[in-house]
Amino acid sequence: MPIDQARVGAHIAAQMEAIEQDYGEDCRIGDICTVVEVIGPHGSHVRVRPSDPRPHIGVGLLRWAEQTLLQMGGPSVLGQEDGEE
């Protein structure tokens, strides 16, 4: 059974809508880093893929994201309550 990509697509679409709402059309997307948990018979693995392969870009984006989430108070600030996807 192939992995259903709809969840990732819906999540990215929601992110793009939020970005467009907050920043308008005068901006562009810079580097991107996705983090995905894959759950299966093997257990749980995390996959990370930065748009730029240089380690300082991926690590920098992840560290910035970590600090942002900690300062914002987590998912509830991002419009998600506990257990919501």
- Positive or negative, the CA dihedral 15, 17, 19, 21 is negative
Q: What is the pTM of this model?
A: 0.72
Could you give the C-alpha distances from 34 to 6, 9, 24, 25, in angstroms and in order?
15, 12, 22, 23
Q: Flag whether pLDDT at 81 surpasses 70.
A: no
Confidence label for 80 from pLDDT (cuts 50, 70 and 90): low
Model confidence pLDDT, tens digit, residues 19-70 = 999 998 899 999 999 999 999 999 999 999 999 999 999 999 999 999 998 8
pLDDT value at 85 more than 50:
no
Task: Locate 36 and state its tokens.
Answer: 């995905």
Task: List CB contacts of 75: < 8 A, sequence separation 6 or more.
Answer: 81, 82, 84
Taking 60 as the threshold, does the pLDDT of residue 9 lie above it? yes
